[in-house]
Chain A
Amino acid sequence: MKPDDDALLDCSDVRGELAALAYDDLEPGPRRAAERHLAACAACREALARLEGARARLDRWTEPGRHPAFAPVPAPRRAELLAGVAAASPPRSGRRARPILWSVAAGLLAFVLLAASSARAELASGRLVLTLTAPWSSAPAADRADALPAELLAELAALRDADLRAGAERARLIAFVEEARAADRRALSALLDELALGAAREDQRTRRALGELATLVVHAPPR
């Protein structure tokens, strides 16, 4: 619906615009038209008042300092977090700095491949085919997430910080992820998610590393 300035609106026209009106998000024309209707319609005025009431209630979840959970990031914690970002980001002067996330992804996948002995998952993208295998089972990952060996997952987590060796396998994996179609990235991400779920509950580091990878594989912009 696109009400213009002169239109006479009925309730069904206006009801869908009330939330936008409550947030002052209507263009001047539609806004004036809606306001004219509201001036003449008590039911729509009440509906708007209800939405505005909800809007006002939302403001109560902004009480900095009242409770730790509701406060903004304190300066010392912010510095810590930024240091973490800097440590994980590509070096300043790298001529063609490879984004860290692909290095990380490639490192983890390379390990999965090294540890592999049986068919695990196959992801195809254009001319590249990557076969991921794992030693524990050939059953679908979801069925045996609990069976993931803790040592393997610990190794995966350790690899995240390790200086990854250059090699043909790694290059192939990097190329795969960079060229992967969105659907394949999602498949890869789902696989990493499953690995994360399989990690021991107390092993937060592994779960976190795998979970991060799962998301990065999906959300990094394509080449």
Chain B
Amino acid sequence: MDARHPGIDAHVEPAARRGDEPAVEALAERFLAGDQAAFAPLAERWLPELVSLAWRLTGDRAEAEDVAQIVLVAAAGARGRFAGRSRFSTWLYRVAVNQSLDRRRAAERRRRALAELGARADGAAPPSPESASLARETAREVAAAVLALPARERAVVVLRHYHDLPLTRVAEVLDAPVTTVKSRLQRGLERLRTRLQEHAL
């Protein structure tokens, strides 16, 4: 992955994407009403969000980019079929989650990413005194712990924590009862804590 995006640090996007929901929903409405011109800005807004989601679910950057593209292409072709079914954003999240978790290829890649992260987190590289490097090692440990979660718990944790969807929205996206989503979040957090504690020792 390092080689694939040389110089990525020079193009870092602001992490904050929040606050533009009303504008994005308005774009989605225009698109669903038949305004094809609304699709390009909509896709542009959603792409990083979808890549980020798929990446946290699969652990693989290339896989995540694939997933994001597939979801957007499907959305472009599926206009007119959403009406009344669910929110556009719910559909995008749902397809992205399913894409990320269902595909056998994704599962293979996740295993590989996990193995790689695990190897690094277990101290293959000696911890450097620099704080940036320590933070990187910590990030890897957390990433490995998240990727090791069972798929259903991982989906809830990632949507709730990293995408800041309230549990009611997570339930919509995953088409599951809120109580179920709640207990998955709880089990996921407990599992993460246990695993991260083991690593800290």
Contact = CB atoms under 8 A, between A and B. Distances in A.
A84 B69 contact: yes
Contact of A58 (B11, B13, B142): B142
A219 B73 contact: no
B186 A81 contact: no
B24 to A, nearest CB: 15
Interface residues of B, number: 72
Interface residues of A, number: 65
A69 B1 contact: yes
Nearest to B67: A215
Interface in A125-178: none
A71 to B, nearest CB: 5
A101 B157 contact: no
Nearest to A221: B81
Given A19-B186, A72-B52, A61 B193 contact: no
Contacts of B21: none
Contacts of B135: 60, 63, 66
Interface of A: 16-20, 22-23, 25, 50-51, 53-55, 57-58, 60-78, 81-82, 84-86, 88-90, 92-93, 97, 99-102, 193, 196-197, 207-208, 211-212, 214-216, 218-223
Interface of B: 1-2, 4-5, 8-13, 15, 36-37, 39-40, 43-44, 47-48, 51-52, 56, 61, 65-66, 68-70, 72-74, 76-78, 81-82, 85, 91, 95, 98-99, 102-105, 132, 135-136, 138-140, 142-143, 145-146, 157, 160-162, 166-168, 179, 182-183, 185-186, 189-190, 192-193, 196
